[in-house]
Structure 1
């Protein structure tokens, strides 16, 4: 790949800091105009892309060096792909990524069961330390989890309507 400067004017908000009067450090910053010369370093050679790498839609290509421990897969991967179709300044980018993390945890637990391994969630969530040092906090977490799970089950099964009629 070549290192060709690209026109970034199509990106919403690009160059918003060009006007020195819009710069929060103006006029306190001692300006030498050195920052207008650009980077003085040579861009490193690009890392080969041999797996799916999700990157901002505000960048036309991946960064020179990137890392991903696991490529996106399953339902969480579909959610991540959806998130990366949206700008990083949008809730449609960040909220799906949060959801994808939670879905990925469930996928990992299901994968553990598929491989015949029963996960020790009590130990993996650090509940032994909570039991030793913060029993009240542990009871609160368990109570909230039980309440949210019960509410979700009632809503998903439609039983919440029957309970509402009783009260």
Structure 2
């Protein structure tokens, strides 16, 4: 009986001696994995190893709490504002949000979006566009009420400057380049 290294001289298989050894020598072994002690300097590393280090442990229970499922059918919420419903789900869900009913141009865009299925890109692009239009509508509404919105503060510029200066500088540079290019093209078009 032949071992796996012996080759029958009459077979058509050729044995290349040293090929595998040479290949393995070209790639050194992977470095050993670091030990727990070597990784201990990383803040939060290994928090899942010891139960007392888990953030949720004081709230956890073993066995977990038994929370019974609600019995019976959920009572249908009263509908006193327009609620947009997906074409995939016939009828309205038992509970829904009423804080931001569709209104204005953004509302018209949302109504148009809900004519298409959720797997249609037009649905999502219209909803994204409606969100942007809604931001402008909010600024106009604030100005109409005599309130000047602090757009920079609402954009988080202070926090961005405090925690991500390089990112903020990059964003300002890109915005400046875009505005400059648009101004240049508009001026060139006038000539």
* TM-score normalised by length of structure 1: 0.64
Q: CA deviation at 1:90?
A: 0.8
- Who is 1:82 aligned against? 112
Instruction: State the structure with more CA Rg.
Output: 2
- Could you tell me which residue of structure 2 aligns to residue 100 of structure 1? 130
Q: Aligned residue for 2:168?
A: 138
Matches of residues 1-167 of structure 1 in structure 2 within 5 Å? 42-150=72-180, 159=186, 162=189
- Quote how far apart the aligned CAs of 1:154 are: 6.7
Deviations 1:79-133 (A, max 9, x none): 1001000001110111110111111111111111111111111111111011122
Distance 1:86 1:111, change over 3 A: same
Compute the displacement of 1:143 (Å). Answer: 2.5
User: Could you tell me which residue of structure 2 aligns to residue 36 of structure 1?
Assistant: none
Distance 1:68 1:150, change over 3 A: farther
Runs of 4 or more, structure 1, over 6 Å off, are: none
Q: Which has the higher contact order (CA 8 A, sep 6+)?
A: 1
Give the unaligned 5+ runs of structure 2: 1-70
Task: Describe the superposition over 1:50-72 as per-residue Cα deviations: whole angstroms up to 9, x where unpaired.
Answer: 11001101222110111131110
Alignment RMSD (CA, Å):
2.6
Q: 1:75 deviation in Å?
A: 0.8
CA distance in 1, matches of 2:114, 2:91: 13
SS at match of 1:136: helix
